[in-house]
Amino acid sequence: MSTEKDNKKLIELLDKAEHLAGQFSGGYSGQFLSAEEFHSKLVDSITKLKNGDNSQLYKLSIWFLPTSCWDDFVGLDGQELANEISDLLAKMTKDETRNNWRQKSLESLEKKTWPALSSDEGSYLIKTCNSLRKKQLKDFSTEDLRIMIGQEIGLYFLIPLAIETLTVNLFAEGDYYEGDLLKSVLDLDNKFWEDNKDCWRQLNELIKNRRQELKELRFDLTKFDYSKS
């Protein structure tokens, strides 16, 4: 279990990593087209972590794995630092990064508990979202995904699940109409896709041969251009 000491140590190490990463330019690694882009996203992720967004731990744990983004851009100059960060992140995320993450709720994964609502408090939507944050991800229905994604809640965990659902049936249906899950995903703000280019590319791959069909059905594809993936 991670401690306050671990959290403080991690932030210190990440600040060193951010400073070092800012000294590099060019290159290419997976979702990042340059060291400058990686540095920008690293700064953004560290800032969110400092503000209490613990979901950033999982993203960072991937970036600092051996032979991953950090090694591609920084290389031997930052190997010792990366190993220290990776070991600490592994300790802090060991429960969540195992294969049982689907058996956890968003509250458990994000380590954030929303205040309980009284029976006469909040709208139907607020009550539903509050309840879904306590539900195990493995039990999420298409409608559950549509609701939460539409409210931009838990996207780091729910978009991969949504893409899995859409891979089986691109027009998977919640409680409204055929394709309502896809619409919720396509309508997400550009900022999410900029921060999660792997998900962006996966969705592009799903729709690349059906773009004309989707346009005829009036799906908004302006955020997705397969030629730029």
The whole-angstrom separation of Cα 8 and Cα 5 is 5
pLDDT at 122 > cutoff 80: no
Q: What is the pLDDT of residues 108-119, one digit of tens each?
A: 877 777 777 666
Please report the sign of the dihedral spanned by the C-alpha atoms of residue 38, residue 42, residue 44, residue 48.
Answer: positive
Other Cβ atoms less than 10 A from the Cβ of 228: the count is: 7
Residue boundaries of the structural domains of the chain: 4-97, 103-228
Average pLDDT, the chain: 87
If you average pLDDT over residues 116-135, what whole number do you get?
A: 82
If you average pLDDT over residues 163-180, what whole number do you get?
A: 94
